[in-house]
Amino acid sequence: MKAWLRHTALLVALLIGGGLLGSVYASKPQGEPAEPQEVAVDGPEVVSQEEAKLDVVGLIFEHIGDSYSWHITTINGHHIEIPLLCIVRSQEGRWYAFSSAKVAHGHTHEGFFINHEGEQWKGKLVAHNSEGELYRPLDLSITKNAAGVMFNSLVVIVIILGVAGWYRRRNYDHTAVPRGFVGAVEMLIVSLVDDVIKPSVGKDYKRYSPYLLTAFFFIFVSNLLGLVPIFPGGANVTGNIAITLVLALATMFAVNVFGNKEYWKEILWPDVPVWMKFPIPLMPVIEIFGIISKPFALTIRLFANIMAGHTVLIALTCLVFITVNMGATMNGVMTVFSVLLSVFMLVLELLVAYIQAYVFTMLSAVFIGLSRKEHHAAHKPTQQHK
Amino acid sequence: MSLLTPELGLLFWMLLSFLIVFGVLAKFGFPVITGMVDKRRAQIEEGLAAAKEATERLQSVEQEAAHIIEEAQKRHAEIVAGAMADSHRIVDGARQKAEAEATAKVEAALSQIEIEKQKALGELRTEVAMLSVEVAEKVLREKMAHSEAQSSYIERLINEAESEQPKPNA
């Protein structure tokens, strides 16, 4: 306990000292080389001294949005970024593949350039057609988020196949009990199967558990890697609506394609008075709307939660740079405040990372379970009588 | 880039990646792990059931053993009691027999002694009678040399005989 207090006190002292130093350097006259301290605190968000004001909103949107290259940091105005692959199809039907470095910083490659003007297609690859009009080509570029998805997928595969390989190396000897990381992953899987999937899905849960577990681990790993501030983490993968939409559509697919007769009967001819479903199909319309609203809710819930977490984290980090011009004392205090709050938020986001993955899996399992219900009408009255 | 409009390219890559992840893990990943866990769980349940059964069997065996021991002790007590009774009976019988034999022998010996005594007495009497007759003869021959003496002696004899009359064979 004492050691813990001492460490905390040391950390706070360092933060105050660092904050004061940073603000002193920041208020130095122009022309001085940027101090490494600023770079070390938060790479991408370094305040270039030429800019009087920091564009916090732009910064946040840059992070939670997508981009064609993976920006790591900027040192002395020099961008360090990993170029990614751009794949586009022009209106003429030709495919082009090129490095994002070729269209960086306003360059044009094969007529394609990143649009920086106007609200439409801002930050996207665009080109001019033969009539000179601006158009958006079919864009299958491996953007930062796409690369993040691939990296996260790889991590998930490595983790799960690693755990499965642990058993394979022991010749599927079921008396072997894993420890450490393998044991932790196994425990997670067992807890999900036993506490979420089995009770929610029902008797043929084994058919669905690979999908639900894949979804859980993909979301969980993506959420966690999204909290890692340096490459290859930090991509706002699960905070992007396209990613959560695909996951939700996968659940919708599993629910509606493998739904049984009972499920479709509940939707098209539910157990309500006849006037509610004929001649005006009031209940069926509501039920059909439910088919759409369920994946919509899944999409928005995950996307909004993760995006909000990232936004708050960046905003808190930016406190340091926003308060630079308010004087050394204010800046020092705010630095301490910012880092402490960031730590708190990161810990909270760790919890959110698990909870959101869990909630997505649980709701998917519940929706699937509803689509596999049997003898609904036969069971309920007996339960009510009791 | 707008936050709420999903990008086609990202949708495509996400779908592709997720399908690959799902395909690989559904085939090589999760079934292996869940299968192993199920197997292990089944084994543990089996082991628990076996342990329970073994405990039950052990209990029944213990009961049986206790029962057998109890029975054996009862038998033991019975046997010991029987043996004691037998030995008492045998000893008593032997003693009685011995006593009876001893009594019989003593009686036989006593009767033999009596017989012998009677015989010896008879012989002695005969001998004494003979001797007394001889002595009497010699005395008489000596004494009866005188007729007077003879007659007085006869007298006396008669007197004696008369006085001894009331108690003959004393």
Q: Tens digit of pLDDT for each residue in A112-138? A: 888 887 777 878 888 888 888 888 888
User: Any CB–CB contact under 8 A between A97 and chain B?
Assistant: no
Interface contact flag, A189 B14, Cβ < 8 Å: no
Chain B, window 14-43: residues with a beta carbon less than 8 angstroms from a chain A beta carbon: 14-15, 17-18, 20-22, 24-26, 28-34, 36-37, 39-40, 43
Residue A177 has what DSSP assignment?
-
Residues 6+ apart with CB under 8 A from B33: A160, A163, A164, A167, A185, A186, A189
Q: In this complex, is the C-beta atom of B110 within 8 Å of any C-beta atom belonging to chain A?
A: no
Q: Where are the domains of chain B?
A: 17-164
Answer whether B10's CB lies under 8 Å from A145's CB: yes
Mean pLDDT by runs of 10 across the 170 residues of chain B is: 79 93 92 89 92 94 94 94 91 90 90 89 86 82 73 84 68
The answer for A 3-62 residues in CB contact with B (under 8 A) is: 61
- Decide if pLDDT at A22 tops 60: no
The stretch A300-326 carries a mean pLDDT of: 89
The distance of B69 to chain A (nearest Cα, Å) reads 41
| Identity of the residue in A67, A139, A142 whose CB atom sits nearest the CB atom of B8 | A139
Q: Are strands A95-99 and A113-114 parallel, antiparallel or unpaired?
A: unpaired
The residue-averaged pLDDT of A35-55 equals: 47
- The b/e string for A262-289 (b: 16+ C-beta within 10 A; e otherwise) is ebeebbeeeeeeeeebeeeeebbeebee
Sheet holding A134-135, edge to edge: A113-114, A125-128, A134-135
Question: Is residue A245 over pLDDT 90?
Answer: yes
Residues of B in contact with A174 (CB under 8 A): 36, 39-40, 43
Pairwise CA distance, residues A211 & A207, whole Å? 8
Min Cα–Cα distance to chain B from A191, Å: 11
User: Is the distance from CB of A298 to CB of A363 less than 8 angstroms?
Assistant: yes
Nearest residue, CB atoms, B39 vs list A123, A143, A174: A174
Token pair in block for residue A51: 């800019």
Euclidean distance between the first and final Cα of chain B, in Å? Answer: 171
User: What's the rounded Cα separation, in Å, for the pair A159 and A161?
Assistant: 6
* pLDDT mean across residues, chain A: 81
For the record, the structure tokens of A4 come out as 């813990």
According to the model, what pLDDT value does residue A49 have?
46
Q: Give the chain A residue nearest B12 (alpha carbons).
A: A140
Min CA distance, A325 vs chain B (Å)?
30
State chain A's maximal CA–CA distance in angstroms: 83
Q: How far is the first Cα of chain A from the last one, in angstroms, to the nearest whole number?
A: 54
- Say what percent of chain A tops pLDDT 70: 85
Q: Which two tokens stand for residue B146?
A: 């005188």
Chain centroid offset of residue A100 CA: 23
Count of CB pairs separated by less than 8 Å, A with B: 133
Residues 6+ apart with CB under 8 A from A360: A215, A216, A219, A247, A298, A301, A302
Out of A124, A163, A243, whose CB is closest to B1? A124
CB A115 within 8 A of CB A103: no
Cα–Cα nearest to A314, from A62, A48, A50, A140: A62
Domain segments of chain A as ranges: 27-38+45-55+65-139, 144-370
What pLDDT was estimated at residue A30? 40
Dump pLDDT digits (tens) for A148-205. Answer: 999 999 999 999 999 999 988 887 787 778 889 999 999 999 999 999 999 998 888 8
Six token digits for residue A298: 């899944």
Chain B: residue nearest A170 by CA? B36
As a three-state string, the secondary structure of A301-346 is HHHHHHHHHHHHHHHHHHHHHHHHHHCHHHHHHHHHHHHHHHHHHH
Task: Flag if B33 and A186 touch (Cβ within 8 Å).
Answer: yes
A170: its two tokens = 């022991």
The CA distance from A337 to A323, in Å, is 11
Q: What is the pLDDT of residue A17?
A: 61
Q: How many CB atoms neighbour CB B8 within 10 A?
A: 13
Instruction: Tell me which residue in B10, B25, B29 faces A146 most closely, judged by beta carbons.
Output: B10
Kindly state whether A146 is in contact with chain B, defined as any CB-CB distance less than 8 angstroms. yes
Q: Which of A175, A241, A311 to mutate to test the interface with B (most CBs of B within 10 A)?
A: A241
CB count, 10 Å around CB of A32? 9
Which of B1, B15, B29 is opposite residue A66, by nearest beta carbon? B1
Q: Which residues of B touch A150 (CB under 8 A)?
A: 13, 17
pTM: predicted TM-score of the whole model, two decimal places: 0.72
